Amino acid sequence: MTRRNFINSTSASYASLLAWGMLQPAPASALTLPANGRNHDGKARKVIVLGAGLAGMATAYELGKLGYDCTVLEARARSGGRVWTIRGGTKETELNGGTAQSCQFEDGLYFNGGAARIPHHHQLTLQYCRELGVSLQIFNGNNEAAYLYNDGGTGDLANRRLRIKEYHNDMRGYTAELLAKALDQSALDQQLTKEDIEKLVDFLKNEGDLNTAHLYKGTNRRGYKTKGEPGAGPTPGDLTDPFGLTDLLRSGFMQPVFYNVGDYIYEQQTTLLQPVGGMDAIPKALEKKLADKIVFNAPVTELRKTENGVRIVYQKEGKPTELTAEFCVCTLPLPMLKNLESDLSGTVKRAADFVPYIKTGKIGLQFKRRFWEEDDWIYGGISRTNMDINQIWYPSFGFQGKKGVLIGYYNFYSRAEAVGALPVAEREKLALNQGAKIHPQYPTEFDNSFSLAWHRIPYSGGGWATYDDATRRKYYPTLLEPDGNIYFAGEHTTYLTAWMAGAFTSAHRAVEAIHARVGQYTKK
Amino acid sequence: MTRRNFINSTSASYASLLAWGMLQPAPASALTLPANGRNHDGKARKVIVLGAGLAGMATAYELGKLGYDCTVLEARARSGGRVWTIRGGTKETELNGGTAQSCQFEDGLYFNGGAARIPHHHQLTLQYCRELGVSLQIFNGNNEAAYLYNDGGTGDLANRRLRIKEYHNDMRGYTAELLAKALDQSALDQQLTKEDIEKLVDFLKNEGDLNTAHLYKGTNRRGYKTKGEPGAGPTPGDLTDPFGLTDLLRSGFMQPVFYNVGDYIYEQQTTLLQPVGGMDAIPKALEKKLADKIVFNAPVTELRKTENGVRIVYQKEGKPTELTAEFCVCTLPLPMLKNLESDLSGTVKRAADFVPYIKTGKIGLQFKRRFWEEDDWIYGGISRTNMDINQIWYPSFGFQGKKGVLIGYYNFYSRAEAVGALPVAEREKLALNQGAKIHPQYPTEFDNSFSLAWHRIPYSGGGWATYDDATRRKYYPTLLEPDGNIYFAGEHTTYLTAWMAGAFTSAHRAVEAIHARVGQYTKK
């Protein structure tokens, strides 16, 4: 990444880059100059970073560039936090009596247990990928060929799978027809001129694929009959009939579980990206940059303020070990901060207590063949249902390979709580039974599984911060200010909660704040 | 690919597979049995295939499996026909006094000059990829972040670029608002029950992101202000204002050039795929299967019927060379068939004369940096304009690399005719001047280009067959029947014109027809 590109496209950090002197040409020898992160005695200022997730590692990486001496304490044996790719050999035992799992996926198969997509507008994440040499590929979020399944409903469209394209194009068709009718009936004459009405009707004819009478009578956009695709010779294709509007309206597919989380919203719009080989390519690349700066298997137990800085106690091979520094950047998820012995202020402690974290879970299911591709023509994307499994994610990589891993459930809130409370064998059973309603191939093709409930994962304790207006107003501002020499970072200190971009932007913000505080550095 | 999978998912060829005996277990030694494609004397039946495009090679490949002895005559030095990937070293000189071009792209950069996407429902193409070991990746067809540009129009939305997401979400918002209003005013009461109207209004609120008063007042789905994305700290994001409905209606974006070819239509719906490394991975893999069966640099000049078969004359190192066989499968594009000396029937000759082929062209532009990604956050997808360049395609591979090749125009009909008539230097100039209106980075970042006009490409002479109802009725049936022992295949003999799937299904159909004609073969 060139300096210019970095600057052009990082709106938030332009000021900070100026501050950091990155706009100056590099000095002939950096060591001959007082480094930005050094004290007047020339020694590097010490910073302890809690957590080797993206926020913590990015903080240490950027502070390191400025000459600070960072130590990152990480409770786990791995980096990445909630950026975690599950593959053969991955081991985990959940809190509250979880069963030990050891993943049995075949080589090359995996799923992203946590963060799983990068929106094209999350430029800071994408810039880090560029800077760190992480290769990207498309994450196929919106697949018109994936399924909707309304379980337990009534009517013709309940308890059966239908393609998203069938639902989408029928609804577009009927609503276009209805609006065209209202316009034809002059019901909206006060809104629009005659000329505009004509133009709008033209639009609706395209939008809904209406016939010349402005009626929706089906469209090839919703697909052809099975074995009725257009082909060679005298076979132009057999169209399918549209569903009835009343059936569609009573289908239940307007519920947010099917729709609202879907295709249009900003964070899930095309284009989405993912690293080639798994999301943990990002933390692994950052970890590499930090060489010996990360102490693994080092859970923090105490977080203390001292006269000139901070004192941290962590467990080293089971023994309490102390570390002091001028600053601390704490990126621990709030459910973990809650458990710490600390001198943190009451308002920070209350934030840790009361900012809600989402319960969420996923299961990866390995199948003997990629039947969703071979039989169902589904290459990536997401099927949605109101069953406990909620979403099925098809992999956006390894297309047409022999075996495959799909995400058999991705659920939230009460569904995730209920499923996450089950023993892993029961979760697998539930995923297979419910998934088989959408994919009858499940029972014969299933190999093995690995499941996780983020609210039960040690050192995470939840999916991500889920502020509502009240908690955002009440607790969020506290986390934006340092508490003594302790700064906070992580997705929970941003308006990009749940996203890796939140971790990265929060790291930049913490670095800027510390650097501003230590004051002027010697300009070249 | 297992036998079962192949059968399950190939609707059109199930009968043929039965006929071909592929449902039987493989014989202990194939050589001890009379092979299907052999005469009573045990010699393989001879078939001459004209053209080593996908249709020709698939025909030879499948006939070869059945024991026929095929020779494929190919006019060019390469296989693939209109499946052609342009990369460094690619050379071409167009008909009618074209300038010799030699592509200067850097290693690893390319564009697909012809076929460029595989719809998920083109299962035969995908099966060949599976069988031939061609790796696939997502082709990102629908990118909400790409641009629309109405050149020369009037009003606020003309002569400026806007994001597709801005247009889409505003139109969804306003149409949802208008329909909700009509429903609120009981304008459509005769159509729907009160309960259904309520459900539909709920749907519209989601669909258009309407406020509680059922009004569209903008949405974050259309994006945030430049440098106004949500971030860390006290920055929830700066929303943009929606365009006015009247402005949108008068924008001209309802024209098919912007819209109708767009996101919804069946062939371009998600998911689309492409081979890793270029579309020519498919013909190259087929070519490998045909080993010594293809004669390159062998343009056919005569196509004759004999008492028991066919006689072909082709040029071999400039000298007329004769070849005879029992059958011929002719996959030459009709503009080429037209030029052949032949015994073809009058109806076939008239089909060759009168079935229209599309004029179409592309230019690949190499740039020094991928500014569309770095500055504009565009990762794959297509921008659309009413200028001569018509479409700009951003590559769906090599993301965040140093340099990149985008397709600077992809145009059709009169636009392609006008641009294709220009000398290559003028085409480049036109692509750069018009493209710079959408991407002002063009002039400073441009490296080099390679352009093509399919109607001027030797041995193709057009993009693809474009039947209208009349030509489909009048000429198409002729091409589905053999003319003596000459069979026809190629996209022009299908309802999948322009698509690789058309070439493949037509090959299956020709193979089936020949095999049915030679009658019963010895069943195991």
Residue B263 pLDDT level (bands cut at 50, 70, 90): low
Restricting to A residues 458-477, those with a Cβ less than 8 Å away from any Cβ of B are 477
Chain B residues near residue A199 by CB distance under 8 angstroms: 249-250, 254
**DSSP for B344-371?**
--HHHHHHHHHS-B--EEEEEEEESS-H
Q: Which of B204, B254, B396 sits opposite A203 (nearest CB)?
A: B254
Instruction: Count CB pairs under 8 A between chains A and B.
Output: 284
Backbone angles phi, psi at A456, to 5 degrees: -115, 5
pLDDT at A280 over 70: yes
- Of these ranges, A39-48, A107-116, A207-216, the one predicted with the greatest mean pLDDT is A107-116
Q: How far B485 CA sits from the closest chain A CA (Å)?
A: 18
In angstroms, the CA A1 to CA B402 distance is: 9
Residue A76's pLDDT is: 98
CB-closest option in A169, A231, A246 to B505: A231
Contacts of B198 in chain A (CB under 8 A): none
Of residues B207 and A455, more confidently modeled: A455
Q: How far is CA B4 from CA A368, B26, B121, in A?
A: 14, 14, 18
Q: What angle do CA B159, B160, B162 make, to 5 degrees?
A: 140
A516 touches chain B (CB under 8 A): no
What is the DSSP secondary-structure string of B397-427?
SSTT-SSEEEEEEEEEHHHHHHHHTS-HHHH
Whether pLDDT at A248 is above 60: yes
Interface of B with A in 7-66 (CB under 8 A): 8-9, 11-12
Residues B436-482: tens digit of each pLDDT: 999 999 999 999 999 999 999 999 999 999 999 999 999 999 999 99
CA distance A88 to chain B (A): 23
Given this model, what pLDDT does residue B33 score?
A: 31
Interface test mutation site (partner B, options A10, A394, A399, A492, max chain B beta carbons within 10 A): A399
Shortest Cα–Cα distance, A401 to chain B (Å)? 8
Backbone dihedral angles phi then psi of residue A396, each to the nearest 5 degrees: -95, 30
Cα separation, B120 vs B270, in Å, equals 8
Q: Give the per-residue pLDDT at B18.
A: 36
Q: What percent of chain A has pLDDT over 90?
A: 82
Task: Compute how many other C-beta atoms are within 10 angstroms of the C-beta atom of residue B346.
Answer: 8
| B508 → closest Cβ in A176, A191, A232 | A232
| Stretch A349-373: mean pLDDT | 98
A229 touches chain B (CB under 8 A): yes
pLDDT tens sequence across B164-193: 999 999 999 999 999 999 998 888 888 889
**The one-letter amino acid at A436:** A
Q: Does B229 touch chain A (CB under 8 A)?
A: yes
pLDDT reported for residue B3:
38
Contacts of A184 (CB under 8 A, 6+ apart): A201, A214
Q: What is the pLDDT of residue A519?
A: 75
| Chain A residues inside the 8 Å CB shell of B381 | 270-271
Q: Contact at 8 Å (CB) between B9 and A378?
A: no
- Of B360, B357, B465, B498, the C-alpha closest to B420 is B360
Please choose, from the candidates B494, B510, B491, the residue with its C-alpha nearest in 3D space to the C-alpha of residue B114: B491
| Interface with chain A: mutation pick from B273, B400, B402, B494, highest number of A CBs within 10 Å | B400
The answer to whether residue A183 scores a pLDDT higher than 70 is: yes
Question: Which of B4, B229, B368, B494 to probe the A interface (max A CBs under 10 A)?
Answer: B229
pLDDT score of B36 = 62
**pLDDT of residue A523 exceeding 60:** no
DSSP assigned state of A431: H
Position B483, amino acid: D
Show the DSSP H helices in B185-274 as ranges.
Answer: 194-208, 245-249
Confidence of residue B371 (pLDDT cuts 50, 70, 90): very high
Q: Phi/psi zone of residue B229: left (φ > 0), alpha (ψ -120 to 50 degrees), beta?
A: beta
Q: What pLDDT shows up at residue B262?
A: 52
B518 touches A: beta carbon within 8 Å: no
Rounded to whole angstroms, how far apart are CA atoms A56 and A62? Answer: 10
Q: What are phi and psi of B393, to 5 degrees?
A: -105, 130
Q: What is the pLDDT of residue B189?
A: 80
How sure is the predictor about A135, in pLDDT bands with cuts at 50, 70 and 90? very high
Q: Looking at residue B39, what is its pLDDT?
A: 74
CA distance B229 to B145: 14
Q: Taking the mean position of all CA atoms in its chain, how far away is CA A189? A: 45
Cα separation values, A17 from A2, A14, B227, B331, Å: 13, 5, 15, 61
**B143 contacts in chain A (CB < 8 Å):** 120, 270-271
CB A434 within 8 A of CB A134: no
How many Å apart are CA B52 and CA B451, to the nearest integer?
Answer: 23
Q: Which of B260, B282, B263, B285 is nearest to B272 (CA)?
A: B263
Whether residue A177 is predicted with pLDDT greater than 70 in this model: the reply is yes
Give the CA angle between residues A115, A119, A121 to the nearest 5°: 135
Confidence check: pLDDT of B1 > 80: no
Percentages (nearest 5) of helix, strand, coil residues in chain A: 35, 20, 45
Q: Mean pLDDT lowest for which of B36-45, B279-288, B388-397, B426-435? A: B36-45
Q: What is the mean pLDDT of chain B?
A: 90
Mean pLDDT estimate for chain A: 90
Between these two residues, B71 and B263, which has the higher pLDDT value? B71
How confident is residue A36, by pLDDT bands cut at 50, 70 and 90?
low
- Answer whether residue A276 shows pLDDT above 70: yes
User: What pLDDT score was predicted for residue B252?
Assistant: 86
Looking at A275-412, list the stretches that DSSP marks H as alpha helix, in order from N- to C-terminal side.
Answer: 281-290, 334-337, 346-354, 371-374
Q: Which of A12, A193, A227 sits opposite B231 (nearest CB)?
A: A12
Cα distance from A89 to chain B (closest Cα, Å)? Answer: 26
Are the beta carbons of A400 and A421 closer than 8 angstroms?
no
When pLDDT is averaged across residues B219-244 and rounded to a whole number, the result is: 93
| Residue A82 pLDDT level (bands cut at 50, 70, 90) | very high
Q: Which of A135, A172, A377 sits opposite B121 (nearest CB)?
A: A377
Alpha-carbon distance of A497 to A479, in angstroms, equals 13
CB–CB contact B232 A505 (8 Å): yes
pLDDT digits (tens, 9 = 90+) for A90-109: 999 999 999 999 999 999 99
Residue B8 pLDDT: 38
Question: A165-198 as b/e, with b when 16 or more CB fall inside 10 Å?
Answer: bbbbbbbbbbbbbbbbbbbeeebbeebbeeebbe
Q: What is the mean pLDDT of residues B342-364?
A: 97
- DSSP tally for chain A: helices H, then strands E: 17, 23
- CB of B506 within 8 A of CB of B490? yes
- Over residues B124-139, mean pLDDT: 98
The tokens of A405 are what? 């891993």
How far from chain centre, in Å, is Cα A49? 23
Q: Is residue B394 a contact partner of residue B372, using CB atoms and an 8 Å limit? A: yes
| Interface contact B172-A496, CB threshold 8 A | no
- A258-272, B99-113, B244-258: range with lowest mean pLDDT: A258-272
The pLDDT value given to residue A12? 34
Closest-CA residue to B216 (of B165, B247, B177) = B177
pLDDT tens-digit map of B426-442:
999 999 999 999 999 99
Is the Cβ pair A254, B203 closer than 8 Å?
yes
Of the candidates A442, A460, A384, the one whose C-alpha atom is nearest the C-alpha of residue A415 is A384
Contact state of A245 with B192 under an 8 Å Cβ cutoff: yes
The predicted pLDDT at position A260 comes to: 52
Nearest-CA distance B130 → chain A (Å): 6
**pLDDT grade for B41, boundaries at 50, 70 and 90:** confident
In this complex, do A175 and B11 lie within 8 Å of one another by their Cβ atoms? no
Closest CA to B459 of B181, B1, B5, B52: B52
Interchain CB contact of A498 with B (< 8 Å): no
Residues of B in contact with A237 (CB under 8 A): 495
